[in-house]
C-alpha cells in the first residue's frame, strides 16, 4: 500500500495538530513497514526529519509554504494534480483546509474542530469557511474527527459526511515526574509557589483564562487564596489577561509563563495541585490527557468534549460562572479523596490514548478504503 501524507501545513510552531501528526504517524510508520508513506513537505520545513529516515518514507519537497493559507493554495495550483497522478497512491491524507483532493484514490481529511463556524467569527469569514467545509466534507472519502464531539458537529453541519473518530494521544512515560530537583529549579526560576493551580494553553479568547483569573479573585476575597500559574504563548489576549490581573490586584497570586519548553511544562505538571481548564470551546483538550498522565486532578469547563474525555466523571463548572469555578477549585484543592479518585481514573483512562492504539485505528481506516 502507498499512502500520501499532505504535511504542507506543518512547521515547528507548537500545536496540538503538530503534536498529533508527529506522534501518531511516527508510530504508524514504525508499526507498518509494509506501507510506503510519501510525505509532501512544505518548502520551508523538513518534515521527513521528524521520522528519523525511516526506510518506508519517501519525500516530496513541494513549493507550498507552511504559513499562509492563501499562499499555500496559490502555490498548489499546477502542482498537486500532476504530482499525485505521478505518485500513484492508494490513499491520500490531508490535514488542513481547503481540501486537496486526490482524483485517483480515496482522500482522508483530519478535522480538529469547527471553530470557523463559531457565531463569534466575522460574517464574511464564516460564510467562506462554511463553503469550504461543505465542499470538503462532501468530497472527502473519510473524515477523521479527533473526538466524538467534533464528529457530532460535523454531522450536524453536513449529515452525509463519512466520519470516523481517532483521538489525539499522549505518551504517559513523558509525564513521569522529573524529580524534586527539577521541580524546585522551575519553581525558583519563575517564582512559582509550593502549591498552585495550573492552566495550560495559548492566550486567546476561547481559552477563557479571564474567567479563571476571576475565580482566583473570588478565592482571594474569601480568604482562601489559591495561586494560579498560566503557561502559554500570546494568542491575542495576553494584554487583556494582564490587565485583568492588575485590575483585581492579583499580581501576587497569578504567575504567567511564556515560551516554556517541554521539560519545564512537565515539571510544572509535577509540581501543581490540580489543572484548571476553562475553555469555552475545544475540539479535544490535550492538557486533560497530560494531567491524567502526570497523575493530577482537574477542574473543567462543562463542555461536551471535556465530559467525553473524562467519561462524565470529572468536576465541572459552567463556562461563564467564576464563582462555580472557584468552588470547584476549592473542592479539589482540599479534598484528598477527590484527588485520589481522579488520579486512579486518569491512570486507567489515559491508556485509551496511547499512540500505538491510535496508529492502528488509522491503519484500519486505510484498510477499509482500499
Q: What is the pLDDT of residue 41?
A: 96
362 pLDDT above the threshold of 90: yes
Based on the domain organization, do 156 and 179 belong to the same domain?
Answer: no
107 lies in the same domain as 190:
no
Same domain? 108 vs 143: yes
321 shares its domain with 364: no
Question: Are both 261 and 358 inside the same structural domain?
Answer: no
Same domain for 183 and 315, yes or no, is yes
Q: Which helix (H) or strand (E) holds 247?
A: helix 238-247
Q: 229 and 211, same structural domain?
A: yes
User: Do 195 and 225 contact (CB within 8 A), yes or no?
Assistant: no
- Same domain for 296 and 205: yes
Q: Residue 53's pLDDT is what?
A: 81
pLDDT, residue 123, reads: 85
Which DSSP category does 9 fall into?
A: T
Q: What is the pTM of this model?
A: 0.94
Q: Where are the beta strands (DSSP E) in 86-188?
A: 91-94, 107-111, 142-145, 163-165
Distance CA 103, CA 205 (A): 39
Q: Is 194 exposed, middle or buried (0-12, 13-18, 19+ CB in 10 A)?
A: exposed
Per the listing, cell 468536576 goes with: 315
3-state class of 280 per DSSP?
coil
| 119 contacts: CB under 8 Å, gap ≥ 6 | none
Range of the domain at 311: 172-351
Q: Across the chain, which distance is largest between two alpha carbons, in Å?
A: 69
The CATH number covering residue 87 comes to: 3.40.50.2000
Q: Give residue-wise pLDDT tens across range 149-200.
A: 999 999 999 999 999 999 999 999 889 889 999 999 999 999 999 999 999 9
- Residue 119 predicted with pLDDT over 90: no
CA–CA separation, 225 vs 200, rounded Å?
A: 20
pLDDT tens-digit readout, 72-84 = 999 999 899 999 9
336 in the same domain as 193: yes
Q: What is the share, in percent, of the chain residues with pLDDT greater than 90?
A: 92
Q: For residues 305 and 122, which has the higher predicted lDDT (pLDDT)?
A: 305
Residues 106 and 370 sit within 8 Å (Cβ to Cβ): yes
Q: Does 12 share its domain with 141? A: yes
Count of domains forming the chain: 2
Q: Are residues 131 and 161 located together in one domain of the fold?
A: yes
Same domain, 91 and 196: no
pLDDT band (50, 70, 90) for residue 48: confident
Amino acid at each position: 500500500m502507498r499512502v500520501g501524507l499532505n504535511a504542507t501545513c506543518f512547521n515547528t510552531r507548537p500545536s496540538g495538530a503538530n503534536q498529533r501528526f508527529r506522534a501518531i504517524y511516527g508510530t504508524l510508520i514504525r508499526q507498518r513497514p509494509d506501507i510506503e508513506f510519501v510525505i509532501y513537505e512544505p518548502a520551508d520545513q523538513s518534515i521527513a526529519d521528524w521520522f528519523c529516515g525511516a526506510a518506508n518514507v519517501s519525500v516530496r519537497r513541494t513549493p507550498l509554504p507552511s504559513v499562509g493559507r492563501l499562499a499555500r493554495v496559490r502555490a498548489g495550483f499546477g502542482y498537486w494534480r500532476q504530482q499525485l497522478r505521478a505518485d500513484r497512491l492508494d490513499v491520500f491524507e490531508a490535514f488542513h483546509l481547503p481540501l486537496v483532493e486526490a482524483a485517483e484514490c480515496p482522500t482522508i481529511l483530519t478535522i480538529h474542530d469547527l471553530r470557523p463556524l463559531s457565531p463569534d467569527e466575522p460574517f464574511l469569514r464564516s460564510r467562506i469557511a462554511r463553503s469550504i467545509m461543505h465542499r470538503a466534507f462532501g468530497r472527502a472519502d473519510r473524515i477523521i474527527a479527533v473526538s466524538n464531539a467534533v464528529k457530532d458537529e460535523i454531522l450536524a453541519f453536513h449529515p452525509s459526511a463519512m466520519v470516523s473518530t481517532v483521538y489525539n494521544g499522549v505518551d504517559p512515560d513523558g509525564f513521569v515526574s522529573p524529580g524534586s530537583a527539577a521541580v524546585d529549579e522551575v519553581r525558583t526560576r519563575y517564582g512559582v509557589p509550593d502549591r498552585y493551580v495550573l492552566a495550560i494553553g495559548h492566550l486567546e479568547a476561547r481559552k477563557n483564562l479571564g474567567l479563571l483569573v476571576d475565580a482566583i479573585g473570588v478565592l482571594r476575597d474569601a480568604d482562601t487564596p489559591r495561586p494560579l500559574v498560566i503557561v502559554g504563548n500570546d494568542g491575542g489576549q495576553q494584554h487583556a489577561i494582564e490587565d485583568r490581573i492588575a485590575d483585581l490586584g492579583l499580581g501576587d497570586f497569578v504567575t504567567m509563563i511564556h515560551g516554556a519548553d517541554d521539560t519545564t511544562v512537565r515539571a510544572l505538571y509535577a509540581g501543581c495541585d490540580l489543572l484548571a481548564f476553562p475553555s469555552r470551546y475545544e475540539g479535544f483538550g490535550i492538557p486533560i490527557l497530560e494531567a491524567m498522565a502526570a497523575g493530577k486532578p482537574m477542574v473543567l469547563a462543562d463542555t461536551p468534549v471535556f465530559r467525553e474525555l473524562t467519561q462524565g466523571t470529572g468536576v465541572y463548572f459552567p463556562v461563564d460562572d467564576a464563582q462555580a469555578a472557584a468552588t470547584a477549585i476549592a473542592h479539589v484543592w482540599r479534598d484528598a479523596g477527590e484527588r485520589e479518585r481522579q488520579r486512579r481514573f486518569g491512570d486507567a483512562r489515559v491508556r485509551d490514548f496511547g499512540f500505538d492504539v491510535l496508529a492502528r485505528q488509522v491503519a484500519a481506516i486505510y484498510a477499509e478504503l482500499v
